[in-house]
Copies of this chain bind each other. A is one copy, B any other.
Amino acid sequence: MHTKPATKALLFDVFGTVLDWRTSIVEELAAFGNTHSIELDCEAVADRWRVGFRDHQRKIAQDAAPFMRMDDVHRRVLDRLFAGLGVAGVPEANLQELNQAWHRLRPWPDAVAGLTRLKERYTVAALSNGNLSMLVGVSKYAGLPWDCVFSTAMFSAYKPDPAVYWGAAKMLEAPPHEAMMVAAHAYDVDAAREIGLQTAYVFRADEFGPGQGEDPGDTSRFDFAVGDLLELADALA
């Protein structure tokens, strides 16, 4: 932790950093299972859905798969998961509705209050691999008070491509050292750090289930390492 840097713009990862995707998705899967009388290990399915999404997204980022928007990747992974589990006969409209669960995610308890405090002093912007309409939808649902919303699709790239961090900072007319990437995933924060952005790592202890947080390694490489967005607001006050 060093002295407070000059910061104009805070760029936030959304899924996992601001939104608690797992709790929401597990609940939606449980409701879906009840409605259709399908027995699902909802926690396992939620985790495999997320992992499947990230694997496919990595392939796209490495040009090993064609570009596909986040909603479509979610659907593709869901279809494969259900095929593997022998889930069949669900009407298309209900599958679409279930896939839309990723637009109905709850924020972490500190997120709205933390963003609201940070917004008083800084520009707070979403920077996510989600498609813009999804980001807008989920932000409305969760009441996230963004100053502006960037989808990496605007820069024709996916995180952790450096073009994305440069692009967002440039749009906000912030030199890289006056922009800060805030995320709960080390790969994301590290990529921003490598091109000169400031960094805040948010340790989400329960992102992948109770007590199942990411292990980021030694956090001294980040400008800030915090437990939630209220702690970040304190640190940047």
Interface of A toward B, CB cutoff 8 Å: 119, 123, 125, 131-133, 135-137, 139-140, 145-149, 151, 153-154, 171-174
Shortest beta-carbon distance from A101 to chain B in Å:
17
Per assembly, the copies of the chain total 2
* Set B119, B140, B153, B174: member contacting A147, Cβ < 8 A: B140
With A149-B148, A154-B154: A171-B123 Cβ-Cβ less than 8 Å: no
Closest to A173 in B: B133
Given the complex of chains A and B, what is the CA–CA distance between A183 and B145 in angstroms?
A: 24
Give A163 Cβ to nearest chain B Cβ, in Å: 14
The chain B residue sitting closest to A154, CB to CB, is B154
Indicate which residue in B131, B139, B148 contacts A132 across the interface (CB closer than 8 Å): B148
Whether B136 pairs with A147 at a CB distance below 8 angstroms is: yes
A151 → B minimal CB distance (Å): 8
Q: For the complex, what is the distance from the CA of A209 to the CA of B226, rounded to whole Å?
A: 51
Query: Could you tell me the distance between the alpha carbons of A123 and B138 in the complex, rounded to whole angstroms?
Result: 12
- Tell me the nearest residue of chain B to A171, going by C-beta: B132
Interface CB pairs A-B, < 8 A, 16: A123-B140, A125-B136, A131-B173, A132-B148, A132-B171, A132-B172, A132-B173, A133-B171, A133-B174, A135-B148, A145-B145, A147-B149, A148-B149, A149-B149, A153-B171, A154-B171
Min C-beta distance of A157 to chain B, whole Å: 15
Return chain B residues, CB-CB under 8 Å to A173.
Answer: 131-133
